[in-house]
Structure 1
Amino acid sequence: MSSYQEVLHQSQSLTSEEQIRLIEDLSRLIRQQMTIKYQPKRSILELRGLGKEIWNGIDAQEYVNEERDSWNG
């Protein structure tokens, strides 16, 4: 008998509540495994410099002053 068949047979002896708990635990385990497997670890540092060309030729202090002035109406 395969491991799967053994587990299935054993699960039939559980109460309905235990079977539901088993399903929930297995679902949680599978989701965790899939998250780890299919989502490579990323670093926030990968975004460094992204879009920096947009700010070329713009004075940072002038920009901040203009933004603050727009808050006051």
Structure 2
Amino acid sequence: MSSYHEVLNEALSLPPDEQLRLISELLADVRHRVIPKPQHSITELRGLGKEIWNGIDAQEYVDQERASWNG
């Protein structure tokens, strides 16, 4: 018999409260090892592309955009 089946049978023989504890601890361990942590933060994008807006008046830009909505 494989070790998986041996462990499964052993787990199934535990009382329900211990089965729940086992499941919880296994999930926590697997999540820690399997789910990768983000390698970047959204804050790294701060200021990205700001040179595109250099010299452009924000209010003038908004006014032009709004005017274009009317066709």
Q: Output the TM-score relative to the length of structure 2.
A: 0.55
- CA RMSD, aligned part only? 2.7
Distance 1:10 1:51 in 2: 58
2:5 match: secondary structure: helix
1:6 match: secondary structure: helix
Q: CA deviation at 1:43?
A: 4.8
Identity %: 58
Matching residue of 1:7: 7
Q: Structure 1 runs of 4+ off > 3 angstroms?
A: 43-46
Matching residue of 2:54: 56
Q: CA deviation at 1:5?
A: 0.7
- What is the correspondence of 1:1-73 to structure 2 with a 5 Å cutoff? 1-36=1-36, 39-43=37-41, 46-47=44-45, 49-57=47-55
Q: CA deviation at 1:49?
A: 3.9
User: Where does structure 1 lack aligned partners over 5 or more consecutive residues?
Assistant: 60-73
Q: Output the TM-score relative to the length of structure 1.
A: 0.54
Q: Which amino acid aligns with 1:25?
A: E
Distance 1:40 1:20 in 2: 29
Distance 2:3 2:39 in 1: 33
